[in-house]
Each structure stands twice: as C-alpha cells, then as structure tokens.
Amino acid sequence: MEATIAVLLVSGVLVVTYSNQPVHSQDLDDYVYNLQQRVLRDISLRSDLRNFVLIGDEASLDELDNYVQGMIPTTYSYYIRVCDLGDACNGIDDVDIYKESIAAGNVFTQSTIISSDLGGGTNALYEPKKVLLVIWENR
C-alpha cells in the first residue's frame, strides 16, 4: 500500500515536471524554417514581390516589408534586407533589438536570390539581388 502511494507520488511529480518543460528546439526550428521558406518562396514566385525586390527603391521595399510583416506572427520579430548579389548582405549589426536573442541562439537566417533580365539588346540589364530574412523570438 505504501509502495503504491510512493510510486503514484513520484510519478505525479515527474508528470508535472515534464509538462512544465518548454516546447522548443526541434519544433521551433522546424516552424521558423518552414515560415522563412514560405515567405522567401512567395517573394521568388510572385511577380509583384519580385518586382519590389528588383526595383529596390524605398517605396518598393516598404511594400515588401508590409507583405513580410503580414506573414510573420507577432511572437517573432524580423529583419529583411535586399542587397546586390555580390554584397555580404550582413548589415544587421545595427539592429540592437535582437542581440539578446543571438546570445540565446534563437535567431534564424535564410536568404534567396532574385534575378531577372530587364530590357534587351544593348540595353539589357542584369542585376540579381539577394533577399536576407532574419527572424528571432520576442522576449
């Protein structure tokens, strides 16, 4: 009888302890990876979003940012940058908001390349762009 009560008590403590563990690591990694893939795939496939990237002026980049903002849940923050293909595209050091998340290892980064031949003949213009998307958890 006492042994049964002891086993129930220990198992109850283990269940409570296990249920209070945060769900993290692989589930979070997979979720954010899929989210980034979906956003970058949309930017690659939708002609309006591709044009925003290739035009690259402030109004176009604002429209691109509005699209990304609508796709990212409010529990995350993000940073999107469009740069030339040859650039390092790493100018996110100036964003202080997520430095704490970097130390915790909760920053997810992916990029994609957007390219198009604009014009023809001697006026052909080939200026591929790299789109960098960084997502981190809000604290």
- 5 found inside a domain: no
Residue 53, domain member (yes or no): yes
Beta bridge partners, 126, equal: 117
Q: Is the pLDDT of residue 11 over 70?
A: no
DSSP β-ladder status, 76-84 and 125-126: unpaired
Beta bridge partners of 114: 129
The confidence score (pLDDT) of residue 29 equals 84
Q: How sure is the predictor about 101, in pLDDT bands with cuts at 50, 70 and 90?
A: low
Rg (CA), the chain: 22
Asked if pLDDT for residue 51 goes beyond 60, the answer is yes
Q: Which runs of E-coded beta strand occur in the chain? A: 76-84, 107-114, 117-118, 125-126, 129-137
Q: Could you tell me if residue 27 is inside a domain?
A: yes
Residue 12 lies in a domain: no
Residue 18 lies in a domain: no
- Judge whether 102 lies within some domain: yes
Domain housing 111: 23-137
Count of the separate structural domains present in the chain: 1
Residue 23 main-chain phi, psi, to 5 deg:
-80, 120
DSSP letter (8 states) at residue 121: G
Residues 6+ apart with CB under 8 A from 39: 68, 71, 72, 133
Query: Within a domain: residue 32?
Result: yes
- Please report which confidence band the pLDDT of residue 28 belongs to, taking 50, 70 and 90 as the band edges: confident
131 close to 88: Cβ distance less than 8 angstroms: no
